[in-house]
Amino acid sequence: MLEDKINNSFIFVDKPPNMLSHEMTSWVGRIIGSSKAGHIGTLDPKVTGVMIIGLGKATKLIQFFSGIRKEYVAVIDWKKEVPEDFAIERFSRFKGKIKQIPPEQSAVARRERERNVYSLELLEHDGRFSVFRTLVDPGTYIRTLCADMGGKMADLRRISAGPITEKDCHIMQRIVDASNLYKKGYPKQLDNMLVSVDDMIEKFGIRKIWIKKNAAIGVSNGSQLDYSGIEKGDFSKGEYVALYYGKMLIGMGEAISNEKRGFVIKPVRITANRKEIEESN
């Protein structure tokens, strides 16, 4: 049923300008009819582009899709006219490992921290302004990057978040239209917009581990997974994995060992209970 999907899925939204991220997230949840909504990666009010929103029970899994690189197209105002060579040289200086102090208006502690700038490419230059594209670690502040380079951010758009690009996103009006059609008995458009948790796990390359029924019941009660309870699947110590019993997602776990014996995975987030597991085929 689509109602079930509405309360356990994700939707990719092209955030418009002049809207707070949490306001937009709440608005999308209400329009679609979800019991709860949460987003991955906050954007400043004037910033546009890719935003991933979890709906209903899927909000509990947001943390497993959060540590992703982001790509942006930005405009930097150098405050005065500069030659193109100046912009190119400045960009080259800020590629690689950089140190940042978050801006005063940020919600995190203002301590210096290291981030990676994987690419910083000049797209267009016109006297005082340069348009550039950059791929950065999560938690990198582009406004701060522009200030550290000697300019100020004039415009910003997020064009990708991990594997999700702006081509995958839906503008607000289309979401409203799809919701209205659903209420009138035409669910296909909204159904096509919603991304299941299973599909998110695939898109983000999270490895799947299939486990035996007794092991699944144990995990659902918070027990660590012994290697003997695994039917198939590979993992490496330190990574998050998705734990399945058949087609049912039991929850997300963290691999705590590379050994092929003993406790190897500890549950981090449980999504199925004992009754659901016992009644499944």
Look up residue 137 and give its amino acid.
Answer: D
Measured between alpha carbons, how far is 136 from 146 in angstroms, rounded to an integer? 13
Secondary structure (DSSP) of 190-211: HHHH-EEHHHHHHHTT-EEEEE
Measured between alpha carbons, how far is 195 from 6 in angstroms, rounded to an integer? 9
**CA distances (Å), origin 123, targets 14, 90, 116, 130, 131:** 22, 14, 20, 8, 5
Residue 239: strand, helix, or coil: coil
44 catalytic per annotation: yes
- Helix (H) or strand (E) run with residue 6 in it: helix 2-6
Q: Mark residue 34 as left, alpha or beta (left: phi above 0; alpha: psi -120 to 50; beta: remaining).
A: beta
> One of 14, 44, 168, 191 is an active-site residue; which one?
44
State the catalytic residues.
Answer: 44
